[in-house]
């Protein structure tokens, strides 16, 4: 047994410390040499460490500081609380003008004191209502008059200090409230040349009821005024502008907004490629400089460079758009490049209606060659084009160039750029779309071609039966006309592909096959192949489009707008513009746009978009809500806790959209297979067309005719479209369906791996049980129950284990940590501590035996903590955890779907573990395990297993990271709102129900079944047709079916992955 003298050290964190990061610090800090325990208070941003005195304290703190930096580079560890106090004072100072006050009482551990503080604050004459929530240590009160705010806050702080001295008091405000209290407004009145008018304007503005004071400096034409507290900034500005317009019409009025950190780059440089008109250059430079948002502008005609500087508060993006519009109207057709010095950026485009894999490849190829593009990757599965910009060309110019490329290659595309409004996307599509609708024209050509072919074919047959000598010539001409009308674009694409060296393209192969057939006299069959090939591609496109639409509908959870509350005004904005701490309002029927905490109102919310649960959930004040929830029946006011990019809905969408980048082994096989399939079949076609005639009878025209036709038929079957289209589509459909049901699968590889699972390993606490510990029984011996709880609470005070926290919570009194002396944690035994001059032992039976304490073994089901004082047994505490409601059903479902073995790993004692395992009917259970021993047990389970015998580990996603990483598939439970769970696992169950695991495995098996159906069907039909063609038993009609017909059926079959029935 190792012993060590420990010392306590309190440190503080500067920066925004989230609950998730605080938990990770608590968990990982003990890995720093010398740190025996760590308690983190996320509210007052403090750390209480127990440090081994044999270690260098400075070195320990430096290493801990480095660890925290790796979690969040914005955080800084300090030994001083002064900055936190200064922040609190600054917050109090900025809080003027708001009736609602919230104060965090860091270190408040006395429930009775909390009740006294709440009552005293509520009794103040100036306070309307008051409430102190002891759990989150938050005091909320509403003032009768906002003007008394500063005085009352000081009075409340005095009440807190006299009732419970030493608390870390922080007055908290939302960021938007602070912004609204920035009461100073400044305006530039361009063109103001009348001193008397300036004096009149200044007096009128100051006379406004909403204005505290005003001043107009006639020399620099600057009007400054200060608003009174609580007034609407926008409305007052409108009034002031009206005064200026009526007093001195025609002035150039500019409201100066403070520059944000997001837009400090004022200088903009552009190159105007192709500018050869000096006069036009002069006009452009003058027009740009005349813009209200521009400080100065200069256009150098020699190097064709336009430079301009933005005024304070001007929108960089909107101003650039205005400048580009000036250039386009003054001198159309110039190649405009914005030199953006703000680093690499990303651009994401959704190419809706993209149904052609070869078009997708060509779009990706051309996009990579576009100006300003560093790299471009198109995921055909979800039609997302990810573009990395090199910063040399403006985002807008690159967007339009890529949109034009995509539209030219496939005219039916609807291009949606992430991060811009629907109106902007609509305008973009209208701008890059050509004057005529080629898609509609293609449909007309196809319809006319099918009808014309049918008429010509019937006419040929009828003419042949009646012996009309000229009918063959007329029919041939008619067939050729139909061929050109229907297949003209195929011929043009084939010609372009030959020029670019792409000879194994489907357009080229169909062209060669049909032209070859026409040359040898099979005109009717060749035209029929072209017509039905185009018809098949058209129907295939419709099927792919419908499947994409179905997948998209599963994920239509992104909110379009947020109702931002600024003072008493509501402004409708893009969710990406909202910041942490802002206040938003969600009306009944609206989707919650960002993650946050309810600060006003109560309602029922629909969480099905994230969890798959159809039952409505009740939310009240101080409850957490996530983006993607739908508010059903009452107004909710929410304080935002995460930026949109970090919100639940963004992470869900991002995971689903990027899931197809992690390909399954089957997908990789198909990708490799398709590279070799076409060249091999084309090679076989050439062999069949040339070798047999030479061997059989090289002089016979009939022999050559027959074998060349067979070779041409081979070409029609040489494209693996059925597999290339349907396999990724099936996996993506399965992932989309799973996400709709509250199961996030982070890649096709994990979805496929779930199919082969035969062993599911569970962590107990928080996975099969609720993970909420409570002291259910206190057995005191020779001391009172209160004394036993006191000794137990002080013994566990420095531990961050959930059981220790449950004991401290049950004690429910303020702890004076200064009374704790030497402290020692004994691995797998418990704690030894000196409290009030007495040696206290708290732990399991091993601890009692090791210290020769005579104790009474307890037979209760639960975790038992034995307590000894100065070597004498003082009693025990029984701590229990509750099994989740659907854990038993989850295990039963897993066995129903073929899981051979269910295992539970836990650090709890054998009796508790065996009790849980027996109730849930688990096959194996391992107890008394340390974290590293869980990994060892997983390694034992792996021994002797085959490639297709996968192991799944299910944990909480935070404390089980090593085991999650070691398993074939790691599943994190309760990922709803948990960043750590989403990062740690391969699959995330968004709610807290273990029964979802069986659903995930069932979805995997169904998806894999459809994948193999398509592979076997597509390859089977192609092989049959190829063999039959080689022996002369099939023709081009069967070949067309084997190509586009099979692809159409495979795509339709892939759509079934989105329509799985509930497993019984």
Catalytic residues: 763
Q: 596-600 and 603-606: which strand pairing?
A: unpaired
DSSP string for 624-665 = EE-TT-EE-SS-EEEEE-S-GGGSHHHHHHHHHHHHTTS--H
What DSSP state is assigned to residue 331?
S
DSSP string for 23-34 = HHHHHHHTTSTT
**Quick check: 598 and 636 in contact, CB under 8 A?**
yes
763, burial (CB in 10 Å: exposed 0-12, middle 13-18, buried 19+): buried
**Quick check: 155 and 124 in contact, CB under 8 A?**
yes
Counting other chains too, the contacts that 672-676 makes at CB distance below 8 Å and 24 or more residues apart are 673/720, 673/723, 674/720, 674/723, 674/724
Residues paired with residue 826 on neighbouring β-strands, in sequence order? 830
Dihedral, 870, 876, 881, 882 alpha carbons, nearest 10 = -170
Which helix (DSSP H) or strand (DSSP E) does residue 138 occupy?
strand 138-143
- Collect all residues with Cβ–Cβ distance below 8 Å to 330 and sequence separation of at least 6: 280, 283, 284, 287
Helix residue ranges per DSSP H, 572-720: 608-611, 648-659, 665-697, 701-716
Sheet with strand 596-600: strands edge to edge: 569-573, 562-566, 583-586, 636-640, 596-600, 624-625
**How far is the C-alpha of 911 from the C-alpha of 809, rounded, in Å?**
25
Cα first-last separation, the chain: 53
- Collect all residues with Cβ–Cβ distance below 8 Å to 217 and sequence separation of at least 6: 223, 224
**How far is the C-alpha of 850 from the C-alpha of 829, rounded, in Å?**
9
Helices 802-811, 785-796: inter-axial angle, 10-degree rounding:
140
The overall longest dimension of the chain from CA atoms, in Å, is 122
739, burial (CB in 10 Å: exposed 0-12, middle 13-18, buried 19+): buried
**How far is the C-alpha of 685 from the C-alpha of 720, rounded, in Å?**
15
420, burial (CB in 10 Å: exposed 0-12, middle 13-18, buried 19+): middle
**How far is the C-alpha of 280 from the C-alpha of 286, rounded, in Å?**
10
């Amino acid at each position: 047994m190792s012993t060590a003298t420990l010392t306590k050290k309190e440190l503080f964190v500067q920066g925004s410390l989230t609950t998730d990061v605080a938990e990770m610090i608590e968990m990982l800090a003990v890995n720093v040499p010398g740190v025996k325990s760590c308690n983190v208070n996320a509210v007052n941003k403090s750390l209480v460490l127990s440090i081994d005195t044999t270690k260098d304290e400075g070195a320990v703190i430096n290493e801990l500081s480095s660890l925290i930096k790796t979690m969040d580079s914005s955080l800084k560890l300090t030994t001083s609380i002064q900055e936190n106090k200064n922040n609190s004072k600054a917050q109090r100072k900025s809080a003027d003008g708001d009736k609602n006050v919230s104060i965090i009482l860091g270190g408040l551990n006395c429930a009775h004191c909390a009740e006294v503080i709440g009552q005293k604050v509520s009794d103040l004459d100036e306070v309307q209502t008051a409430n102190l929530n002891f759990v989150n240590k938050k005091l909320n009160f509403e003032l009768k008059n906002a003007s008394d705010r500063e005085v009352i806050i000081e009075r409340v702080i005095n009440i807190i200090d006299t009732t419970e001295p030493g608390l870390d008091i922080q007055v908290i405000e939302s960021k938007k409230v602070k912004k609204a209290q920035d009461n100073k407004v400044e305006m530039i009145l361009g063109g103001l040349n009348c001193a008397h008018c300036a004096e009149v304007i200044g007096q009128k503005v100051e006379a406004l009821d909403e204005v505290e004071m005003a001043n107009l400096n006639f020399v620099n034409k600057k009007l400054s005024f200060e608003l009174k507290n609580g007034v609407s900034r926008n409305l007052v500005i409108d009034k002031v502008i009206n005064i200026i317009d009526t007093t001195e019409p025609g002035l150039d009025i500019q409201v100066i907004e403070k520059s944000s950190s997001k837009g400090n780059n004022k200088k903009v440089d552009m190159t105007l490629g192709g500018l050869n008109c000096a006069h036009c250059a002069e006009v452009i430079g003058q027009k740009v400089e005349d813009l209200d948002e521009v400080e100065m502008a200069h256009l150098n005609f020699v190097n064709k460079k336009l430079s301009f500087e933005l005024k304070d508060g001007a929108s960089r993006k909107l101003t650039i758009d205005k400048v580009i519009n000036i250039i386009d109207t003054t001198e159309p057709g110039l190649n405009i490049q914005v030199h953006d010095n703000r680093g690499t950026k990303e651009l994401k485009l959704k190419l809706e209606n993209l149904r052609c894999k070869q078009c997708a490849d060509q779009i990706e190829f051309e996009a990579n060659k576009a100006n300003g593009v560093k790299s471009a990757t198109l995921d055909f599965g979800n039609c997302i084009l990810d573009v990395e910009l090199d910063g040399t060309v403006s985002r807008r110019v690159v967007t339009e160039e890529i949109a034009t490329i995509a539209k030219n290659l496939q005219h039916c595309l609807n291009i949606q750029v992430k991060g811009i409004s629907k109106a902007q996307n609509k305008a973009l599509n209208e701008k890059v779309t050509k004057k005529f609708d080629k898609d509609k024209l293609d449909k007309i050509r196809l319809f006319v071609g099918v009808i014309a072919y049918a008429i010509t074919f019937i006419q040929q047959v009828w003419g042949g039966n009646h012996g009309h000598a000229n009918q063959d010539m007329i029919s041939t001409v008619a067939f050729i006309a139909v061929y050109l009308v229907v297949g003209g674009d195929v011929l043009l694409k084939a010609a372009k592909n030959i020029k670019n060296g792409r000879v194994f393209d489907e357009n080229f192969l169909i062209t060669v096959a049909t032209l070859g057939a026409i040359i040898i006299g099979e005109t009717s069959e060749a035209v029929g192949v072209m017509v039905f090939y185009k018809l098949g591609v058209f129907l295939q496109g419709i099927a792919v489009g419908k499947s994409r639409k179905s997948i998209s509908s599963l994920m239509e959870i992104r909110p379009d707008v947020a109702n931002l509350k600024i003072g008493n005004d509501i402004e409708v904005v893009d969710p990406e513009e909202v910041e942490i701490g802002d206040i938003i309002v969600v009306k009944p029927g609206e989707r919650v746009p960002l993650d946050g905490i309810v600060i006003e109102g109560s309602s029922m919310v629909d969480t099905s978009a994230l969890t798959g649960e159809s039952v409505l959930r009740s939310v009240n004040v101080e409850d957490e809500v996530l983006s993607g929830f739908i508010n059903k029946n009452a107004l909710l006011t929410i304080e935002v806790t995460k930026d949109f990019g970090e919100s639940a809905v963004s992470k869900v969408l991002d995971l689903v959209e990027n899931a197809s980048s992690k390909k399954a082994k089957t997908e990789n096989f198909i990708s490799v297979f398709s590279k070799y399939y076409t060249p091999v079949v084309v090679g076989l076609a050439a062999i069949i067309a040339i070798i047999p005639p030479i061997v059989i009878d090289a002089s016979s025209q009939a022999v050559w005719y027959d074998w060349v036709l067979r070779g041409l038929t081979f070409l029609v079957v040489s494209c693996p479209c059925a597999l290339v289209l349907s396999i990724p589509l099936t996996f993506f459909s399965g992932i989309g369906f799973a996400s709709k049901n509250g199961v996030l699968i982070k890649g096709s590889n994990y979805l496929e791996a779930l199919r082969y699972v035969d062993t599911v390993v569970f962590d107990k606490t928080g996975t099969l049980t609720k993970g909420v510990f409570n002291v259910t029984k206190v057995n005191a011996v020779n001391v009172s129950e209160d004394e036993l709880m006191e000794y137990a609470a002080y013994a566990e005070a420095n531990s961050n284990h959930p059981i220790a926290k449950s004991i401290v919570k049950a004690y429910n009194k303020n702890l004076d940590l200064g009374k704790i002396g030497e402290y020692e944690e004994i691995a797998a035994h418990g704690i030894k501590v000196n409290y009030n001059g007495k040696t206290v032992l708290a732990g399991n039976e091993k601890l009692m035996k090791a210290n020769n304490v005579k104790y009474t073994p307890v037979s209760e089901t639960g975790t038992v903590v034995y307590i000894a004082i100065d070597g004498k047994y003082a009693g025990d505490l029984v701590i229990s955890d509750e099994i989740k409601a659907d854990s038993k059903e989850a295990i039963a479902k897993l066995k129903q779907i073929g899981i051979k073995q269910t295992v539970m790993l836990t650090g709890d004692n054998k009796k508790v573990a065996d009790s849980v395992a027996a109730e849930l009917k688990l096959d194996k259970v391992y107890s008394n395990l340390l974290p590293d021993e869980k990994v060892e047990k997983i390694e034992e389970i792996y021994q002797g297993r085959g490639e297709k015998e996968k192991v799944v580990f299910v944990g909480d996603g935070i404390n089980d990271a090593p085991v999650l990483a070691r398993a074939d598939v790691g599943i994190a439970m309760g990922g709803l709102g948990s960043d750590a769970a989403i990062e740690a696992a391969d699959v995330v169950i968004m709610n807290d129900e273990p029964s979802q695991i069986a659903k995930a495995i069932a979805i995997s098996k169904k998806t894999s079944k459809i994948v193999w159906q398509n592979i076997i069907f597509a390859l089977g039909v192609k092989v049959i047709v190829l063999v039959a063609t080689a022996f002369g038993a099939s023709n081009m009609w069967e070949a067309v079916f084997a190509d586009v017909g099979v692809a159409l059926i495979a795509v339709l079959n892939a759509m079934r992955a989105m329509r799985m029935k509930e497993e019984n």
